[in-house]
Amino acid sequence: MTIEIVRVPVLSDNYVWLVHEPVSKETAVVDPAVAEPVLEAARERGWKITQIWNTHWHPDHIGGNDAIKAATGCRVSGPAREQAKIATLDVSLDEGDHVRLGDVVGDVIDVPAHTAGHIAIHLPGEGAVFVGDTLFAMGCGRLFEGTAEQMFDNMVRLSHLPEETRVYCAHEYTQSNGRYALVAEPDNADIARRMDEVNAARARGDATVPTTIALERATNPFMRARSVEQLAERRTAKDNF
């Protein structure tokens, strides 16, 4: 991996990601919920923020846009279908578009369901994907503006990424998701084993993300759903869990 990715914990359970490319010295911020902790994390490392990548319009993903843009003059890129809800947007992104950080190129993937225009950004050369609130460790996003069919398609598409791909989601939901996963697939030994690791990590105060596509294939009940109907049933059950 040529880039450096830094986790910035904010609010109660959000993760903002700083993505730094050392040759160009460009730094992108992914889904800044707030500004100051992100600006401070960049200052501590001597990094200049040149871009913001938004995966969707929710306030806990764009709340820091204004202040970071004002402080750095950075360019804001985000989903074309949500541009009306992201006032700071400079570059609209849709399926097949690309972002660039120095010589590192990211592919834009449409993953609607959590919101109508949600996108993910896959950096194939770096083995990383930023998924916002679409895919979580052992979970998926709620269906606020989309359908189970869309989320099922998202899970299938993401599951086809190389298994070693690191998945950078935007929340520390793993322990809660895992409790449901144990109920959804009680005979899945991989889930039980992973939950032991997750519980130990959280007891130490450690983060549980990024995860990997391989780990999600083995332990995520939504990625493992065999049909739209099963995903819908599991999403409803998790909403009421």
Domain of 191, CATH number, reads 3.60.15.10
Q: Dihedral, CA atoms, 215, 217, 221, 226, nearest 10 degrees?
A: 180
What's the pLDDT score for residue 1? Answer: 74
Query: Does 94 qualify as catalytic in the annotation?
Result: no
Cα-trace Rg, the chain: 17
∠ Cα 36 39 203 (to 5°) = 70
- Host domain of residue 67: 4-239
What's the pLDDT score for residue 48? Answer: 97
Q: What are phi and psi of 77, to 5 degrees?
A: -120, 145
DSSP helix/strand/coil, 82: helix
What residues are paired with 19 via a beta bridge? 5, 28
Q: Are strands 139-140 and 135-136 parallel, antiparallel or unpaired?
A: antiparallel
Share of the chain above pLDDT 70, in %: 100
Query: Does 60 qualify as catalytic in the annotation?
Result: yes
Per annotation, catalytic residue among 20, 31, 58, 153: 58
Question: How many folded domains does the chain comprise?
Answer: 1
DSSP helix/strand/coil, 58: coil
Query: Does 206 qualify as catalytic in the annotation?
Result: no
Q: Dihedral, CA atoms, 93, 96, 99, 105, nearest 10 degrees?
A: 170
Q: What is the pLDDT of residues 3-48, one digit of tens each?
A: 999 999 999 999 999 999 999 999 999 999 999 999 999 999 999 9
Per annotation, catalytic residue among 31, 60, 110, 153: 60
Q: What is the pLDDT of residues 59-115, one digit of tens each?
A: 999 999 999 999 999 999 999 999 999 999 999 999 999 999 999 999 999 999 999
Query: Does 98 qualify as catalytic in the annotation?
Result: no
Query: Does 122 qualify as catalytic in the annotation?
Result: no
Q: What is the pLDDT of residues 158-211, one digit of tens each?
A: 999 999 999 999 999 999 999 999 999 999 999 999 999 999 999 999 999 999
Query: Does 171 qualify as catalytic in the annotation?
Result: yes
Per annotation, catalytic residue among 20, 31, 110, 114: 114
What's the pLDDT score for residue 3? Answer: 96
- Do 3 and 166 form a contact (C-beta atoms < 8 A)? no
Per annotation, catalytic residue among 20, 118, 122, 171: 171
Q: What is the pLDDT of residues 112-170, one digit of tens each?
A: 999 999 999 999 999 999 999 999 999 999 999 999 999 999 999 999 999 999 999 99
